[in-house]
Structure 1
Amino acid sequence: MSDVPIRDAATVVLLRDGTAGIEAWLLTRVREMVFAAGMSVFPGGRVDEADVDLPFAPGAGAEVAERYGVDERHARALLGAAVRETFEEAAVLLTSPVADLSGARADVEAGRVSFGELLRGNGLRIDAEALRPWSRWITPPGEVRRYDTRFFVGALPDGAEAQDVTSESSSAGWVGVGEALEQVQRGERGMLPPTVATLASLAPFRTVEQALDAAPGRSLDAISPTIRADGEKVIATLPDGSEFELPKALFR
């Protein structure tokens, strides 16, 4: 499947401070999905053409453009997709000013109203400063779909409440970063390498503020696991030597 096109995507690691440390919002994708079925993931998805034309403040995206090595138009498309997907999948708006329009989420997901129309109709703009670049992952050759995904970290806005609402997930909720990693080790939760590696990179931080402050120092070099068959297993190996067993369904 070397001819599978690589598409731009954006993912948001939505964080909050919990009683035992940082918690992340995780969704478990329904098993009928073509890509990453049954896997626990962060909110995110493919960049749409309309994402670049969402309302932004003048100059928004300049820092993201510099960090990811793209032009500002490309950066706005990534930010727009990140904010739109977070709203569609968790009903959380990362906008300025902060607003609760969760009642309109289903209409946006179903295409009855565009995300841009919703924002403009309520005087809202994408809050580019709410998201910090964290990493970049490229799906390796051989999978049924391939993405160049930019990962962002962001704090749950004050007064906002994430909701288990999207039709693409069978469950969703806040999970402590350490607990999520332990669930993976116990075989209780399925995750792809980027999700596991991202949670592991957040584990050293005691608070969301500490994690956000560390974002500017993160390497944003593209990471693409190498894939090999090992008997009945499919193994992904990261540049640091870490290995993960992958579901065979990803390679149908």
Structure 2
Amino acid sequence: MSESTPAPARPAATVLLLRDSASGPEVFMVVRHRQIEFAAGALVFPGGRVEAADAEIAAGLGATDPFAAFRVAAIREAFEESGLLLARTASGVPLTPDQGAAVAAAHRDALNAGSRGFAALLQAEALVPDIGALVRFAHWVTPDDLAKRFDTHFFLAPAPGGHAATHDGHEAVDSVWISPEAALAEAAAGTRTLLFPTRMNLGRLVGATSLTMALETAAAQPVVTVQPRLETDATGTRLLRIPVEAGYGGPLFPVGQRAM
């Protein structure tokens, strides 16, 4: 791309899988492999690009939601990266932990290897992606000045109760259930790497005392698009400006790890 023409922002979806704990909600996060192209070594939420097949699955569901393809992509990426499948049987019954484990054992490796599509998995197991379980949470667009850009919709979703979550061992080399407060504290201490959008979205969950509270709060707040803009103040400090209306507590924040 020329200097005057930004790289296109690829549609992407990310899901914050939540569960209750004695001290409040925890989110499932993975550590990206240090040798991959994007977000190497960072602690991130499961997510990735929206594929044409995701839109086809969404269309097959008869979904009128304009974000249905993003929801399908988020569900697929969550399964690929955590082994947790947000899906129901054709009659609307959620998977039991044993059923979820069996589906992961039968299909996850092939899906990650690209030898099987998500639609084939759903058809083989007679399952329907539970797009209604996802609550819209945020919308971030990578700044124009970066070479690798994404147009990312973030969702919250309750993790399937009793199901085991594990990282894939390829793109992700570790995983953890962690409270938003602990993730932010570890990043501040230098023991975790958080990209700017990850840090900001974890911050929005701080203060929620339960999974239900987190979901209800997100559902009640309008989603405002965030495209950070780099600024330098009078002291030479580099800051990122985002819309106050997006609900992150202010317009200016330290740059930190800024890429998406």
Please indicate, yes or no, whether the TM-score normalized by the shorter chain is above 0.5.
yes
1:26, CA displacement in angstroms?
A: 0.9
Q: Take 1:94 and 1:219, find their aligned partners in 2: how far apart are those partners?
A: 24
1:59, CA displacement in angstroms?
A: 4.5
Matched, 1:202 2:194: no
1:78, CA displacement in angstroms?
A: 0.7
The letter for the 1-side match of 2:12 is A
**Aligned equivalent of 1:132, options 120, 135, 151:** 135
The letter for the 2-side match of 1:131 is L
**Aligned equivalent of 1:187, options 187, 190, 204:** 190
Q: Take 1:210 and 1:82, find their aligned partners in 2: how far apart are those partners?
A: 21
| Within-5 A mapping of 1:208-219 | 208-219=211-222
Matched, 1:102 2:112: no
Asked whether the equivalents of residues 236 and 246 of structure 1 are also in contact (C-alpha less than 8 Å), the reply is: no
1:88, CA displacement in angstroms?
A: 0.5
Partner-residue secondary structure (3-state), 1:21: coil
Q: Take 1:120 and 1:223, find their aligned partners in 2: how far apart are those partners?
A: 36
1:241, CA displacement in angstroms?
A: 2.6
Matched, 1:244 2:254: yes
Asked whether the equivalents of residues 32 and 44 of structure 2 are also in contact (C-alpha less than 8 Å), the reply is: yes
Q: Take 2:232 and 2:199, find their aligned partners in 1: how far apart are those partners?
A: 20
Aligned residues: 239
Task: Please name the residue that 1:33 is paired with.
Answer: 36
1:189, CA displacement in angstroms?
A: 1.1
Once the two structures are superposed, what CA deviation does each residue of 1:170-214 show, in whole Å capped at 9, x if it has no partner? 211111111111112212211112111111111121000111122
Deviates more, 1:214-223 or 1:106-115: 214-223
Asked whether the equivalents of residues 187 and 194 of structure 2 are also in contact (C-alpha less than 8 Å), the reply is: yes
Q: 1:5–1:14: structure 2 CA closer, same or farther, 3 Å change rule? A: same
Deviates more, 1:227-236 or 1:3-12: 227-236
TM-score computed with the length of structure 2 as normaliser:
0.84
The letter for the 1-side match of 2:254 is F
The letter for the 1-side match of 2:104 is S
1:242, CA displacement in angstroms?
A: 3.5
Q: Which has the larger radius of gyration?
A: 2
The letter for the 2-side match of 1:243 is F
Asked whether the equivalents of residues 57 and 72 of structure 2 are also in contact (C-alpha less than 8 Å), the reply is: yes
Q: Take 1:89 and 1:235, find their aligned partners in 2: how far apart are those partners?
A: 32
1:218, CA displacement in angstroms?
A: 1.6
Once the two structures are superposed, what CA deviation does each residue of 1:49-97 show, in whole Å capped at 9, x if it has no partner? 001122778544x4xx3xxxxx3xxx22111111110010001100013
Asked whether the equivalents of residues 6 and 145 of structure 2 are also in contact (C-alpha less than 8 Å), the reply is: no
Asked whether the equivalents of residues 133 and 157 of structure 2 are also in contact (C-alpha less than 8 Å), the reply is: yes
Matched, 1:122 2:132: no
Q: 1:166–1:78: structure 2 CA closer, same or farther, 3 Å change rule? A: farther
**Aligned equivalent of 1:84, options 69, 72, 76:** 76
Matched, 1:144 2:147: yes
Task: Please name the residue that 2:156 is paired with.
Answer: 153
Unaligned runs of 5+ in 1: 66-70
Task: Please name the residue that 1:164 is paired with.
Answer: 167
1:113, CA displacement in angstroms?
A: 1.2
Q: Take 1:183 and 1:242, find their aligned partners in 2: how far apart are those partners?
A: 22
Q: 1:113–1:59: structure 2 CA closer, same or farther, 3 Å change rule? A: closer
Partner-residue secondary structure (3-state), 1:28: strand
Q: 1:121–1:234: structure 2 CA closer, same or farther, 3 Å change rule? A: farther
Q: Take 2:28 and 2:158, find their aligned partners in 1: how far apart are those partners?
A: 10
Once the two structures are superposed, what CA deviation does each residue of 1:84-123 show, in whole Å capped at 9, x if it has no partner? 1001000110001324111121110101111110111100
